[in-house]
A and B are shown apart, each in its own frame.
Chain A
Amino acid sequence: MTVDWGWFPDHVDDLTTLTFDHLSTAVPAVLFGLLIAVPLAVIAHRVRPLRGVLLGLSNVLFTIPSIAIFVLLLPITGLTRTTAITGLTIYTLTVLLRNTVEGLDSVPAKAREASTAMGARPLRTLLTVELPLAFPVIMAGVRVSSVMAISLVSVASYIGYGGLGQLFTDGFQRNYPTPVVAGVVLSLLLALVADAVLVAIQWLCTPWLRRRA
């Protein structure tokens, strides 16, 4: 198995396009995942009986092969990027939901009580006290699910929306390792960079943790 190094400089444009393609599937998936997971986590945190049900369901979702999720979405969302994004969103929910619930759990009762004592309504307490305090744990979940989403985009190549994963299909069909190597390396790099960016965002968003450290 030899890698044809001359291929890389000739395909900078293609690789750039595919990388953006990759991101435009992974990034919305994590964002939508958060939009769904945070409210669900608040419910799971407040309504104890629902907690086990919601966490259990999200764990079950995790055991379904991702390729099957994409295929099962075909009749609903068609052969579109929406299918790829929706499938990945479902997959990010497990980690995001669990971490957000754990984050909310980690908020000291005293902080909550103090806020309530000061006359804050529950929604205000949630937005100004609980979620900021839970932020580091939630961000840990965002990091894990982002890395996962970036590596899983390639599964959507079975329905033609795999971003860098399209290189895997291409290399497979033509018995040509070079594009596959390019796809694996870029996908890994992308995950690494995304993780670093999220660490930076977390650092910027939590000045109170920095001062303490």
Chain B
Amino acid sequence: MNRRKLLGGLLAGASVPTLAACSGGITSLKGDGAGGGQGGGSSAGGLVIGTANFTENQLLGYLYAEALGGAGIKTSVRPNLGSREIVIPALQQGDIDLLPEYQGNLLLHFDDKAPQTQAGDLQNALTVALPNGLEALSYAAAEDKDVFCVTRETADKHGLRSFSDLKKQNGKLVFGGPAEDKNRVVGLVGLKNRYGVTFKEFKALDASGPLVKGALKKGDVDVANLFSTDPDIEANGWVILADPKALIPAQHIVPVIRGAKADTKVRKALAKLGGALTTHELARLNKLVDKEKKDPDEVAADWAADHGLTKK
């Protein structure tokens, strides 16, 4: 382990904001870049952006890289690291510095009883709930919610329109989603506690990827956890079940960063990106990557240039 990482790890664990603010000073003493310091941390040494194991998150990672690059901050992107359960500890340990996240699910990761469902409330709650050393920056206009889908045939056959309807089929249907759904509130835990829904079986598949979509298509699972921005939902005419009791919180895209790396430059660059990135745009970009097989880094670069985040 090199000294900078060790230091970063120590600082990430620092409990008082003033202590974290020193990081700029200590870093410059070590001579790896001047300045920074403003707004808590310093981005002078560059940032490592990690992303979770699904394509949209890759795309978001590259968008962050573009926005930060446009502000003169060096970055590298580590795509496809794993589920939230894997990447958050990596962020806390300082293996990575920045992650594209989703408000509601991120909050529930740290506080599985959090009642907030609205974007603004979630943001405040996140500020409180995030462990020392981590910080949530401004959230984007874009939102990608977890949705639980059934095929049109299943919906018609059992009269399924909302989560409440699932209760009538308790113990009969098969639920598919990523393995982590088994223990998540936005997953089996919440469906059971909030709606009293139980399933015949849980199949561990992937995060709105080829496994879960293939299984839904084939009929191997009846209910599938997908992402609202997934272009395949519309393409296949799948039915998104309604959530009358608001189990699934708002899921605006939100950058989570190690405080030691968060300075004004980073905050402003990512806020600017967040303001320009709408749900519609995100869905369109996903389609370019998933359907038209464009490289996520190129899609991100084009989009950032078109929206004035970088110079063409």
The interface of chain A, by Cβ under 8 A from chain B, is 4, 7, 11, 14, 74, 78-80, 157-160, 166, 169-170, 172-176, 178
Q: How far is the CA of A7 from the CA of B292 in the complex (A)?
A: 12
Contact with A159, one of B55, B86, B206, B295 (Cβ below 8 angstroms): B86
The CA of A174 and the CA of B293, in the complex, are separated in Å by 7
- Among residues of B, the one whose C-beta sits closest to the C-beta of A74 is B86
In whole angstroms, how far apart are the Cα atoms of A10 and B90 in the complex? 32
Determine how close the nearest CB of chain A comes to the CB of B253; give it in whole angstroms. 19
Q: Which residue of A lies closest to B96 (CB)?
A: A79
In the complex the two chains form, is A170's CB within 8 Å of B290's CB?
no
Chain B window 40-81, contacts with chain A (Cβ cutoff 8 Å), 1 for yes, 0 for no: 000000000010011100000000000000000000001111
Binding site secondary structure of chain A? helix
Among A7, A11, A173, contact of B210 (Cβ-Cβ < 8 Å): A173
Do residues A79 and B293 form an inter-chain contact, with CB atoms below 8 A?
Answer: no
A79-B96, A80-B95 known; A173 vs B209 contact (CB < 8 Å): yes
CB distance from A194 to the nearest CB of B (A): 25
Pairwise interchain contact B293-A173, C-beta atoms closer than 8 A: no
The smallest beta-carbon distance between B299 and chain A, in angstroms, is: 12
Q: Is the pair B80, A166 in contact by a Cβ cutoff of 8 Å? A: yes
Does the CB pair A175–B210 fall under 8 Å?
Answer: yes
Asked whether, in the complex, the Cβ of B55 is within 8 Å of the Cβ of A79, the reply is no
Q: Who on chain B is nearest to A79 by CB? A: B90
Q: Select which of A14, A79, A80, A178 is within 8 A of B86 by beta carbon.
A: A79
Q: Which of B50, B55, B80 touches A157 (beta carbons < 8 Å)?
A: B80
Q: Please give the distance in Å from A191's CB to the nearest CB on chain B.
A: 23
Q: Is B223 an interface residue (CB 8 A)?
A: no
8 Å CB interface, B278-312 against A = 289-290, 293, 295
Contacting pair A159 B81 (CB below 8 A): yes
- Per-position contact with A for B81-117: 1 when CB-CB < 8 Å, else 0? 1100011011001011000000000000000000000
Which B residues are closer than 8 A to A by beta carbons? 50, 53-55, 78-82, 86-87, 89-90, 93, 95-96, 206, 209-210, 289-290, 293, 295
State whether A79 touches B50 (Cβ < 8 A): yes
Select from chain A the residue with minimum beta-carbon distance to B209: A173
- Closest chain-B Cβ to A21's Cβ sits at a distance in Å of 11
Given contacts A4-B293, A79-B96, contact A172 B210 (CB under 8 A): yes
* A-chain residues with CB within 8 Å of residue B50 when the two chains form the complex: 79, 160
Top 5 closest pairs, chain A to chain B, by CB: A79-B90, A160-B81, A79-B95, A78-B95, A78-B93
A160 to B50, alpha carbons, bound, how many Å? 9
Contact partners of B86 in chain A: CB under 8 A: 74, 79, 159
Neighbouring B residues of A172 by C-beta, 8 Å: 209-210
For B55, what are the chain A residues with a Cβ–Cβ distance below 8 Å?
173-174
Could you pull out 20 A-B pairs where Cβ atoms are within 8 angstroms?
A14-B295, A74-B86, A79-B50, A79-B81, A79-B90, A79-B93, A80-B95, A159-B81, A159-B86, A160-B80, A160-B81, A160-B82, A169-B53, A169-B80, A170-B79, A174-B55, A174-B290, A174-B293, A175-B290, A178-B293
Question: Could you tell me the distance between the alpha carbons of A4 and B294 in the complex, rounded to whole angstroms?
Answer: 12
Q: Report chain A residues within 8 Å CB of B290.
A: 174-175
Residues of A within 8 A of B90 (CB): 78-79
Complex Cα–Cα for A129 and B255 (A): 60
Q: Considering the chains assembled together, what is the distance between the CA atoms of A14 and B290 in angstroms? A: 19
The distance from the CB of A17 to the nearest CB of chain B, in whole angstroms, is 11
Residues in A whose Cβ lies below 8 Å from that of B54: 173
> A178's closest neighbor in chain B, by CB?
B293
Contact between A176 and B293, CB atoms less than 8 A apart: yes
Whole-angstrom distance between the Cβ of A89 and the nearest chain B Cβ: 17
Give A160 to B87 CA distance when docked, in angstroms. Answer: 10
B95 CB, nearest partner CB in chain A, Å: 4
Chain A min CB distance to B5 (Å): 9
Q: How far is the CA of A175 from the CA of B86 in the complex (A)?
A: 24
| Minimum C-beta distance from B30 to chain A (A) | 21
Smallest beta-carbon distance A123→chain B, Å: 33
Decide: A170 near B95, CB < 8 A? Known: A79-B86, A159-B86: no
- Nearest CB on B from A162, distance (A): 8
Q: Which residues of A contact B210 (CB under 8 A)?
A: 172-173, 175
A11 vs B293: C-alpha distance in the bound complex, in angstroms?
13
- Assuming the contacts A79-B87, A173-B209, A174-B55, asked whether A160 and B78 have C-beta atoms less than 8 A apart, the reply is yes
